[in-house]
Structure 1
């Protein structure tokens, strides 16, 4: 090794053809630069480690979600896109060569199909009555069942039971209850000396009868959701309002109801979407035990968009036309949902 006595920070020796700089005698600017470089390198390494960890966690999350996403794509998204394409064809579900007709199905549906327009009106009527009544009853029962009382758990179970019972079975039972001669409802009317009604064979009463059943069937679900919302309201707020002298109605209107806004918003959204798609009760009521008319009720008085779609697809085998009805039903529900979100979301507070 050769040594050379030079100024501090200069060459101090040569070993194996490489030049060494004595760090102990390095000039102050060189020491500062080395420390700064080390200080900057540490955060970069930590950031790189965080990015690697985030990517790994993201891949793990998608791996766990993959089975559910696969089912969602195969059985929901792909059929939905397929229906949009199907609406542009004339097809009977049997022939191998469907005919492309463009927007002809939509032209017929919106311009010349009187039954479709009637089904739209009756669907709106069904939704406008079923949703508010079932929500109001659900909220009332939830408030009553939220208080401590004997048999509260049994009553909660009994009210929720109709929602989880088989739909077709309950509709058949209610068809017997609507029977014009042996039905329970006409027996009640007769007890009050009122005329009997031909519930399911009269164009004026068939849809109100189905609405009556739907309210009974959906109220239990609303009760459970409202009870969950009431459970999240701190009891200290109710106690403070009671100490301040607020009456029961004032506590409900000024305290409970505003705090239930997120729950009410959810119930309203789900109820409207479900009511627009009603099919099974109409199918069984108008072609089952209690009624003698064809599907859709007498004079198609119970025809809704969902039931009309079903008959076009699986009775008339007009698959392309049914696809066009599906697209319009989707657009109607989407428009109603956007209007609801735009009007009500600003009045909903989650904290």
Structure 2
């Protein structure tokens, strides 16, 4: 091979000269593709070493590259940690707010719960405990006797069974009358107006009147010689009636007093139920030709079924608890014709000083009332929604 050819071959095998990074213009400070150029090389404009295709990095510059790489990954990790921190702080804030709301709600409920526990639930528990003893109120002496009081009430106490019969008679008299009368009056006063508002107030006035005072006033109204009612009857030729002294008239007379006293409450409940019925139902029925009794029978009554169930159950419970008018007006007479179960329990506890036995009667009466209320709710259940 000649000398000139050998020179050409050597030149061909030599790598092509690289353009310095500093001379590449605006993109000179960026790393070449797939290579990491140290900061000092970028400043000097030197090209990376061609050996193995990787630039040589001096030991003094390695920490710059390491910090550069850690800065990229650390920035991403830092953003993730900050996002998780923000989410955690938001969850903690919402949890604390929920706790504060719950504490506020329980704070508002606390007075009512205290009254319920102290004056309702605890007396029931204590009455059950006393019912298992022979407690005497005056001496305070008591001895455990088990279920002897319950056995006595069921097997040997005729007065207890008679008082139950009188109580059921009173309930059967009062509940239908008060329910029907309350619904009828609610239908009359459901429309707005000044006169109607006055009538509503007059009907509700007895509800806020003391039952003791009302019973005393009605005792005078029922008086056989000087009573207002007998005076009215005498003016039309009817002989004076001894309402509270006749076995057949005493219980209906007391029922009339309690109905007069409580019918205003029933009216308010029925008014709420009537106003909750959408008027579109009546408009559609009138369009189809329904009137008067048809509207009441096919729209009002079905949609008032739940309201009526509430009225019947509440009125029944209140009727079972009747005591004040009996005590004020008849003392259970004449001939025990008005001696209801509550009055009989009071008589056993405070007249005969048998607190243990009276407590047993009270527990049995509680179970009876709960059973009657459950049956009424089942019978008056409704699937009508509107």
The TM-score normalised by the length of structure 2 is 0.76
The alpha-carbon distance between structure 1 residues 21 and 221, as it changes in their structure 2 partners (threshold 3 A), is: same
Tell me how large the CA RMSD over aligned residues is.
3.0
Structure 2 CA distance for aligned equivalents of residues 185 and 45 of structure 1: 77
Q: Give the C-alpha shift of residue 320 in structure 1.
A: 0.8
**Kept after mapping to 2: 8 A contact 1:265/1:348:** no
Of 302, 305, 320, 1:276 maps to 320
Cα distance in 2 for residues equivalent to 1:161 and 1:301: 30
Q: In the alignment, does 2:383 pair up with 1:336?
A: no
**2: CA distance, partners of 1:124 / 1:64:** 39
Partner of 1:71: 115
User: What is the number of residues matched between the two proteins?
Assistant: 328
1:45-124 mapped onto 2 (5 Å cutoff): 46-124=90-168
The structure-2 alpha-carbon separation of the partners of 1:24 and 1:115, relative to structure 1 and needing over 3 Å to count, comes to same
Rg larger in structure: 2
More helix as a share of residues: 2
What does residue 266 of structure 1 align with? 310
User: Which residue does 2:354 correspond to in 1?
Assistant: 318
Aligned-pair distance for 1:76? 1.9
Give 3-state SS (helix, strand or coil) of 1:99's partner: coil
CA contact (8 A) 2:170 2:255 kept: yes
Q: 1:77 & 1:200 partners in 2: Cα distance?
A: 36
**Does structure 1 residue 22 correspond to structure 2 residue 69?**
yes
Q: Give the corresponding residue for 1:289.
A: none
Q: What is the match of residue 28 of structure 2?
A: none
Distance 1:307 1:48, change over 3 A: same
Cα distance change on mapping 1:336 and 1:20 into 2, 3 Å:
farther
SS at match of 2:187: helix
Change (3 A) 1:272 1:348: farther
2:197 maps to 1:197: no
CA contact 1:180–1:197 (8 Å) conserved in 2: yes
Instruction: Quote the residue 1:160 is aligned against.
Output: 204
- Is the Cα–Cα contact under 8 Å of residues 135 and 267 in structure 1 kept in the other structure? yes
Contact 1:203 1:299 in 2 (8 A): yes
C-alpha distance in structure 1 between counterparts of 2:67 and 2:104, whole Å: 49
> 273, 282, 288: which one pairs with 1:244?
288
Asked if the contact 1:13–1:21 (Cα under 8 Å) also holds between the matched residues in 2, the reply is no
Which whole-Å deviations, capped at 9, do the CAs of 1:31-89 have from their partners, x for residues lacking one?
7x999988877766655543333223212221232233222222222122111111111
Report the Cα distance in structure 2 between the residues aligned to 1:13 and 1:339, rounded to whole angstroms: 89
State the distance in 1 between where 2:99 and 2:193 align.
53
Alignment CA distance shift 1:139-1:186 (3 Å): same
Cα separation, 2, equivalents of 1:308 and 1:263:
33
SS at match of 2:165: helix
Q: CA deviation at 1:243?
A: 3.5
CA 348–170 in structure 1, closer or farther in 2 if over 3 Å, else same: farther
Is contact 1:279-1:307 (8 Å) kept? yes
**Equivalent-residue separation in structure 2 for 1:161 and 1:317 (angstroms):** 38
Counting only pairs closer than 5 Å after superposition, residues 170-249 of structure 1 correspond to structure 2 as 170-249=214-293
Does residue 297 in structure 1 map to residue 339 in structure 2? no
- Contact persistence 1:160–1:221 (CA under 8 A): yes
